[in-house]
Amino acid sequence: MTPWLTVIGVGAQDIDGLTENIRDQIHTADIVVGSERLLSGLSDIACQTVKWTSPLSDLISDIDSWRDRRVVVLATGDPMHYGIGATLAREFPEDDIRIIPSPSAFSLAAAKLGWPLQDVEMLSAHGRPVSGLTTYLQPGARLLILTGGAPTVHQLAEWLVEHKYSKSRFVVLECLEGASERITETSATEINNQTYSDFNLVAVECRIDPGHNHQPPIPGLADDNFENDGLLTRREIRCITIASLMPAPGRLLWDVGAGSGSVGIEWMRCGRNMNAIAFEKNSRRIETIRRNSERLGTPGMKIVPGLLPTTLENQAAPDAVFHGGAVYSDEIFDQCWTSLKPGGNFVANAVTLEGDAALIKRHSKYGGELIRLEISHSDQIGAWRSYRPQRPVTQWRVRKS
């Protein structure tokens, strides 16, 4: 079956830079959709033209109603790389769509810099918070970052300074392959008085400032990275807890009784498209979770305030659940267990006798593993050193069949 919907990527040379065959597909379409800039290059076209609308859902609904017509959607660069092509591919069957890409801004920038794309993180700060990129700040990492315009360039520079990467190589690539192409290499501390076009991409070669430690994406951030009021899953316990939850790309975690949000934050830092919902009743802790998630690179973590188990109702079903608060409550556990997807992982940590008793009872009914975690740190006793134990933690972990 011939696709009725064609998505065409357009480079910096606009419509004139496309092949004759692709231009013919545009001119023989019944409807052409695109931005004002791209449509302005089609002055000689006879068919109906439609500009992007907001919200995008309205435009997708219109496109769906045009199934009996030949529709062309014009996009910038590669429509499948942070582009409209990926959105449309989720909405329509693959037999309905044909994608014709142009080189993406990432490909053009990598060619200019001599950076092999397989060794580069390709990211976007277009319509997304810059703080969401923080996990990718690692010594030696190379980042290519789409921006939302000139202001984003300055936001990225401030972000690097804030996270102690001010010495990083910082390259702004504007209007690549266009008549006004410009490539400027500078540093995060030297761009304040410089101006840039809105059509740009930023390349960063990460160099951490001397004397500072980086924050690895694997679980185990030092406890002092998290603002907290004492309610914190400590570093070593947190590492074992995340491993027991078995994170994987695209999975959703419920952090029930989130406290400072440390488990949900570390879960989301494990990889791309990780999601977490933090359930917390204490208003001060809710604000603490917000600040921790923003600073540590997971601003997309959803926070649900209010009393459990009511707040668990009508939420997206989780792939994993960490029960760290009110572990003794059968009512909260029952709601979590019912909501957990089949095959999902459930982990609960207890530090009280009441919590231990609840976990032992559930282990007898549902199976899984019960383990005792005891961590000690060296400490000074007068002129000597010894080990000071933390409170032992009982962990129950089980996979829902």
Q: What is the DSSP string of 277-308?
A: EEEE--HHHHHHHHHHHHHTT-TT-EEEES-T
Contact present, 203 and 171 (Cβ < 8 Å)? yes
Q: Which among 302, 350, 343 is positioned nearest to 329, based on CA atoms?
A: 350
Q: What is the pLDDT of residue 1?
A: 65
What does the block give as tokens for 27?
A: 């001119």
Single out the residue of 206, 190, 116, 117 nearest to residue 153, CA to CA: 190
Q: Using the structure block, give the residue that is written with the tokens 């977490």.
A: 276
Q: Confidence class of residue 15 from pLDDT cuts 50, 70 and 90? A: confident
Cα separation, 149 vs 377, whole angstroms: 49
What pLDDT sits at residue 37? 85
Spatial contact of 152 and 199, defined as CB atoms under 8 Å apart: no
Q: Using pLDDT thresholds of 50, 70 and 90, give the confidence band for residue 46.
A: confident
pLDDT at 40 over 90: no
Q: How far from the centroid of its chain's Cα atoms is residue 278's Cα?
A: 16
Nearest to 33 by CA among 79, 81, 95, 82: 79
**CATH homologous superfamily of domain 106-205?**
Tetrapyrrole methylase, C-terminal domain (3.30.950.10)
- Sorted by sequence, the CB contacts under 8 Å of residue 78 that are 6+ apart come out as 9, 85, 101, 102, 103, 104, 106, 107
pLDDT reported for residue 43: 75
How would DSSP label each residue in 182-232? EEEEE-TTS-TT----SSEEEEEE--PPTT-----SSS---GGGS--SS--
Tokens at 125, concatenated: 């700060």
**pLDDT digits over 95-136, tens only?**
999 999 999 999 999 999 999 999 999 999 998 999 999 999
Cβ atoms of 165 and 145 closer than 8 Å: no
**Measured between alpha carbons, how far is 139 from 159 in angstroms, rounded to an integer?**
15
- The answer to whether residues 304 and 279 touch, using CB atoms and an 8 Å cutoff, is yes
Domain limits, the chain:
5-102, 106-205, 223-399
DSSP structural state of residue 132: G
pLDDT tier, 58 (very low <50, low <70, confident <90, very high otherwise): confident
Q: Respond yes or no on whether the N-terminal peptide bond of residue 309 is cis (omega within 30° of 0).
A: yes
* 328 Rama class: left (phi>0) / alpha (psi -120 to 50) / beta: alpha
Q: What is the mean pLDDT of the segment spanning 61-81?
A: 93
Sign of CA dihedral 232, 234, 235, 236: negative
Contacts of residue 143, Cβ cutoff 8 Å, sequence gap at least 6: 120, 121, 123, 133, 136, 202, 203, 204, 205, 206
Predicted local confidence at residue 268, as pLDDT: 97
What's the confidence (pLDDT) of residue 171?
Answer: 97
Q: And the tokens for 113?
A: 């810099």
Nearest to 371 by CA among 381, 379, 360: 360
At residue 125, the pLDDT reads 95
What string of DSSP letters covers 36-95? HHHHTT-TT--SEEEE--SSHHHHHHHHHTTTTS-EEEEEES-TTSSSHHHHHHHHS-GG
Q: In one letter, which amino acid is 155?
A: Q
CATH classification for the domain delimited by 5-102, as one of 3.40.50.300, 3.40.1010.10, 3.20.20.70, 3.40.1800.10: 3.40.1010.10
Q: Domain 223-399 class? A: alpha beta
Res. 149: pLDDT tops 80: yes
Q: Kindly list the distances between the CA atom of residue 257 and the CA atoms of 79, 311, 325, 346, 398, in Å, as whole numbers in the listed order.
A: 41, 11, 4, 14, 19
Question: Are the C-beta atoms of residues 333 and 398 closer than 8 Å to each other?
Answer: no
